[in-house]
Amino acid sequence: MIRIERRLTESRWLVAAVPAGSLVAAAILSGLILLVTGHDPVATWSRLLDRGFFAPGAMSATLVTATPLLLTGLAAAAAFRMQTWNIGAEGQLYLGAVGASGIGIALRDQSPFLVIPAMILAGIVTGAAWAAIPGVLRAYTRTNEIITSLMLNYVAGLLMSYLIFDSHSYWRDLSTFTARVFPQGKYLPDAASWPNFPLGGIAIPLGFVLGMIAAAVLWVIYTATRFGFEARVIGDSRAAAHYAGIRTRRKIVAVMALSGALAGIGGASEIGDFRHVLDPRGLQQASFGYAGIVVAALARLNPFAVIVVAILLGGLSNAGFSLQGATFPAGLVGTLQGLILFCALAGELLVHYRIRFARRAGAAPPAPVPARAEIA
């Protein structure tokens, strides 16, 4: 007989062991999928790890991929803490990229000290505004934010495509004949390229530094401010929060905007740190917003854990992009992310419950009767 009992307190060491175990279990499961489809799992995995973390320059490239994951992961963590399900980090990141690239192009002849903060601010504002739409709908019309924020991802993607492929918009390069036939965005001036900070041979992008600062700020907000406390109360019980006099509607909009602002910084960093042009196809293929959900869940919504998880998953994504081809089929990275999340969810049971393998009645020593069951 297997009995599942609720733990009174979370097991400390399991909180760390479960995510780590999930990664290992997901690696084994994905190995099975590789084996069934005729690929060598050990070779694939060692190439994945090599390209992601150990090859020369791999770590720098991984941090570039980890940056948007860190910010969308924080975006998801910020919203999920309040049980507000912002699935729209994807679209909010696109909008952040649109805003930041627009400002970067507009401030063509200015100094980097003006351009870069302006880009960050633009990313924050556009991302927050896009997220505020499902936030307002949730707060004031009780519309399910999961579906509205997700639908807006598609709209945001189409908006980017429109700006580059189907209009003569401000973002599109129309200066040459080739650019008019094969649509592409305007490249940003050098002053809009974000700096990176070398540390022991690894280049840390500015976006990643911003992400680490954001993680610390988020941690402070949720542990040491009234705002964070009220948001957590709303997450636990919206009715209780309401009776306690917390302005739940405003808070929902504020948390959604905060979440969107974080994703928006991710979009700005994609432009400033990496692409230097509004690239609708590249951004849509990367699907950083959805991966951010995986990051946040695996980090159990802890902002500092988000940093670590973002680097781990960033390495896998980075290796996935660079290895993509006949021997390394597309789709493997998403499959792997899904498997990691499944394992983490299954492991969550161990954190909250204790599994007892009890012997059949009769052979078993007289077990104490669980009091809860009696009362119920």
The whole-angstrom separation of Cα 229 and Cα 208 is 27
Contact 95, 264 (CB under 8 A): yes
CB of 192 to another protein, least distance (A): 26
User: Which residue's CB is nearer to another protein, number 118 or number 152?
Assistant: 152
Of 202, 287, 322, 351, the one binding another protein (CB under 8 A) is 287
Q: Is 339 in the site for another protein (CB under 8 A)?
A: yes
| Span near another protein by CB under 8 A; candidates 172-180, 198-206, 357-365, 366-374 | 366-374
**Segment 212-241, which members bind another protein (CB under 8 A)?**
none
Two tokens at 326? 């006949």
Tell which one of 291, 299, 312, 323 touches another protein (CB under 8 A): 291
- Dihedral pair phi/psi, residue 203, rounded to 5°: -90, 120
> Any contact of residue 137 with another protein (CB under 8 A)?
yes
Q: Which stretch binds another protein (CB under 8 A): 46-54, 140-148, 172-180, 252-260?
A: 140-148
> Min. distance of Cβ 214 from another protein in angstroms?
22
- Does position 333 interact with another protein (CB under 8 A)? The reply is yes
Contacts with another protein by CB under 8 A: the residue count is 53
For the CB of residue 339, give the shortest distance to another protein in the complex, in Å: 6
Angle of the 89-106 helix axis to the 58-80 helix axis, nearest 10: 120
Q: Please tell me what DSSP assigns to residue 367.
A: P
Sign of the torsion formed by the C-alpha atoms of 344, 348, 354 and 357: negative
Q: Which residue from 71, 77, 79, 87 is in contact with another protein, where contact means CB under 8 A?
A: 87
- 87: closest CA among 276, 354, 290? 290
60 vs 161 by CB, closer to another protein:
161
Q: CB burial class (10 A; 0-12, 13-18, 19+) of residue 192?
A: buried
Q: Does 46 bind another protein (CB under 8 A)?
A: no
Distance in Å, CB of 90 to another protein, minimum: 11
Give yes or no for residue 183 binding another protein (CB under 8 A): no
Enumerate residues 6+ apart whose C-beta is below 8 A from 183: 164, 165, 172, 173
Q: How far is the CB of 30 from another protein (least distance, A)?
A: 10
Residues found in the chain: 376
DSSP string, 259-292: HHHHHHHHHHHIIIIIISS--HHHHHHH-HHHHH
Element (DSSP H or E) covering residue 362: none
Q: Per CB under 8 A, does 129 bind another protein?
A: no
Stretch that binds another protein, among 15-23, 233-241, 254-262, 333-341 (CB under 8 A): 333-341
- Between 187 and 290, whose beta carbon lies closer to another protein? 290
Reduce the DSSP state of residue 246 to 3 states and report it.
coil
Six token digits for residue 132: 């505020």
Pick one of 11, 55, 129, 162: the residue that binds another protein (CB under 8 A): 162
Cα(215)–Cα(77) distance, integer angstroms: 10
Residue given tokens 């070398």 in the structure block = 198
Residues lying near another protein in the complex (CB under 8 A) are found at 6, 33, 37-38, 85, 87, 137, 141-144, 146-148, 150-152, 154-155, 158-159, 161-162, 166-167, 285, 287, 290-291, 293-294, 297, 329-335, 337-339, 341-342, 345-346, 348-349, 353, 370, 372-373, 376
